[in-house]
C-alpha cells in the first residue's frame, strides 16, 4: 500500500478531502507516507449536521448517502480550485460519508459512499457492510481502503487493492443521475453537465469546438453551421446551452431537457450556467467557439461591458489566456446585408483570436427568433 501511495504523491493529482461519519483513516494513510504535501491540499471533517450543511452549502440529503458524498466532493473540488488554481486540470475533490458501527443501536444499514470528482471525470462508489460482522475499527479500515482505491483509479494509478469484502458484499457504482445534476447546476454547485439527445448523462471530456446557443428551437441553420464548422476545424462541433442569460430567468430542468431532446440520441450537448464567453472559456479551456458575426461584434464592443473598454480587453485577454479562439460565421442583418468578420472592428492585438468560416462553406439566413415569431 505504501508503494501505491508514493505513486500517488508522485503523480500530478492534487486533492482536497472531506470526510464525515467514517473514512478518516484515509488521511492517516496519505500523511504517513512522505510526500503528502505534494498531493493533499487540504482536508475537512464536517462531522456535525451544522458543519456538514455549512461545508456543502445546503441541506444534505441524509448524512450518509451517495448524493451527500457527491455534494461533499463538489465542495472539496471548489476549495481545491481556490487553493491551487494553476493545477486546475489535476485537481480532485473527494467526499466520503459513512454510517458505521457505533456505541448505540443504529437503525438502518452500515454503509459508506465515496465520490471523487475532477475536471476530467468522476467516480462514485458505495458499499453496504454486513452489520455486526466487523468492529468499528475494522469497518473504518474498509471505508478508508475503498476511498483510497477510488482515488487511485481517478489518478490513473493501476494495481490499487480493493477493500476486503465479506460474502454478499460488493462495491457498486452510485453515480448521481440527471435530476441531481440539473439541481446542482441550478444552485451553482456544478458548472456543467453533458447530456445526449435522449437526456442521458454522457462523458464530460472537454470538446475541441463548441457552438453556444439557446436552440429554441434547433433549426436547419444550426445543423448546417455545426456541420460546416466541423468540416472547417476537422472535428465534430458540440452544442452548448446556458441556463443563465442576461435579463432572463434561469431555464428550468424541464425546459433544458426539451431543448436537448431536439438533438439526435448520439449527439452530445453541454448544459452550463456560463452566460458569457469569458465564463465559457474558463469552463472549456483550449476550445474553439463557433459564433455568428453579430456575437463577434458584441465581444469587442465596450457597450456590452458597461461602456468599459478596459473590461472588454480584460475579458478578451482571459479568453486568449485560456487558449480559446473564435470561428466566425457571417449572418444577414436587419437590412438584408450579409455581414462578415471583415465588418467587425477587432482591436489589432486580439485579431489572431478570430478566424472566419467562409460564406461558401456556410450561409443560412434563418434565426430561432424568426421561427418562433412565424
pLDDT band at residue 337 using 50, 70 and 90 as cut-offs: confident
Residue 205, judged by CB atoms within 10 A of its CB (0-12, 13-18, 19+), counts as: exposed
- CA-based radius of gyration for the chain: 24
Angle between helices 2-10 and 136-154 (to 10 degrees): 40
Q: What is the mean pLDDT of residues 138-144?
A: 96
Architecture per CATH, domain 2-176, reads as: Alpha-Beta Complex (3.90)
* Predicted confidence band of residue 43 (pLDDT cuts 50, 70, 90): very high
366, pLDDT greater than 60: no
Query: In the chain, where are the structural domains located?
Result: 2-176, 183-373
In 3D space, the residue among 93, 95, 92 whose CA is nearest the CA of residue 114 turns out to be 95
pLDDT of res. 373: 54
For CA atoms 20, 94, 23, 110, the dihedral sign is positive
Which cell goes with 214? 439557446
Q: Same CATH fold, 183-373 and 2-176?
A: no
Task: Provide the pLDDT for residue 177.
Answer: 95
The cell for 87 is 493545477
Q: What does the pLDDT read at residue 207? A: 95
Range of lowest pLDDT (2-16, 43-57, 95-109, 174-188) = 95-109
Closest CA to 291 of 331, 321, 263, 350: 331
To the nearest whole number, what is the mean pLDDT of the chain?
93
Calculate mean pLDDT across residues 236-242.
97
What span, in angstroms and rounded, lies between the C-alpha atoms of 122 and 147?
Answer: 13
Contacts of 312 (CB under 8 A, 6+ apart): 300, 301, 302, 304, 305
pLDDT tens digits, 292-305: 999 999 999 999 99
Q: How far is CA 182 from CA 195, 252, 287, in A?
A: 11, 9, 23
Cα 274 to chain center, whole Å? Answer: 12
- CATH for 183-373? 3.40.50
Amino acid at each position: 500500500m505504501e508503494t501505491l501511495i508514493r505513486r500517488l504523491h508522485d503523480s500530478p493529482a492534487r486533492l482536497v478531502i472531506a470526510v464525515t461519519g467514517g473514512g478518516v483513516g484515509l488521511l492517516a494513510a496519505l500523511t504517513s507516507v512522505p510526500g503528502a504535501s505534494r498531493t493533499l491540499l487540504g482536508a475537512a471533517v464536517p462531522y456535525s449536521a451544522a458543519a456538514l450543511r455549512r461545508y456543502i452549502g445546503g441541506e444534505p440529503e441524509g448524512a450518509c448517502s451517495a448524493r451527500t458524498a457527491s455534494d461533499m466532493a463538489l465542495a472539496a473540488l471548489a476549495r481545491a480550485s481556490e487553493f491551487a488554481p494553476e493545477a486546475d486540470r489535476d485537481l480532485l475533490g473527494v467526499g466520503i460519508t459513512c454510517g458505521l458501527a457505533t456505541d448505540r443501536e443504529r437503525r438502518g444499514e452500515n454503509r459508506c459512499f465515496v465520490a471523487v470528482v475532477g475536471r476530467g471525470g468522476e467516480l462514485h462508489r458505495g458499499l453496504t457492510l454486513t452489520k455486526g460482522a466487523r468492529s468499528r475499527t475494522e469497518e473504518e479500515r474498509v471505508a478508508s481502503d475503498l476511498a483510497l482505491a477510488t482515488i487511485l483509479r481517478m489518478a490513473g494509478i493501476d494495481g490499487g487493492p480493493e477493500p476486503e469484502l465479506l460474502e454478499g458484499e460488493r462495491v457498486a457504482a452510485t453515480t448521481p443521475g440527471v435530476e441531481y445534476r440539473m439541481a446542482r447546476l441550478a444552485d451553482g454547485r456544478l458548472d456543467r453537465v453533458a447530456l445526449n439527445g435522449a437526456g442521458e448523462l454522457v462523458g464530460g471530456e472537454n470538446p475541441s469546438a463548441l457552438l453556444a446557443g439557446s436552440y429554441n428551437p434547433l433549426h436547419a441553420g444550426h445543423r448546417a453551421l455545426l456541420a460546416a464548422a466541423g468540416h472547417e476545424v476537422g472535428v465534430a462541433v458540440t452544442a452548448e446551452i446556458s441556463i443563465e442569460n442576461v435579463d432572463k430567468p434561469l431555464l428550468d430542468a424541464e425546459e433544458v431537457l426539451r431543448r436537448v431532446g431536439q438533438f439526435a440520441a448520439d449527439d452530445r450537448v453541454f448544459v452550463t450556467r456560463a452566460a458569457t464567453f469569458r465564463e465559457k472559456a474558463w469552463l472549456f479551456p483550449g476550445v474553439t467557439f463557433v459564433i455568428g458575426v453579430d456575437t463577434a461584434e458584441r465581444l469587442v464592443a465596450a457597450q456590452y461591458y458597461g461602456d468599459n473598454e478596459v473590461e472588454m480587453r480584460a475579458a478578451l485577454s482571459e479568453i486568449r489566456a485560456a487558449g480559446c479562439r473564435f470561428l466566425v460565421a457571417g449572418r444577414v442583418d436587419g437590412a438584408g446585408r450579409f455581414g462578415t468578420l471583415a465588418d467587425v472592428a477587432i482591436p489589432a492585438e486580439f485579431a489572431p483570436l478570430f478566424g472566419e468560416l467562409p460564406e461558401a462553406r456556410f450561409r443560412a439566413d434563418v434565426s430561432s427568433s424568426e421561427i418562433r415569431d412565424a
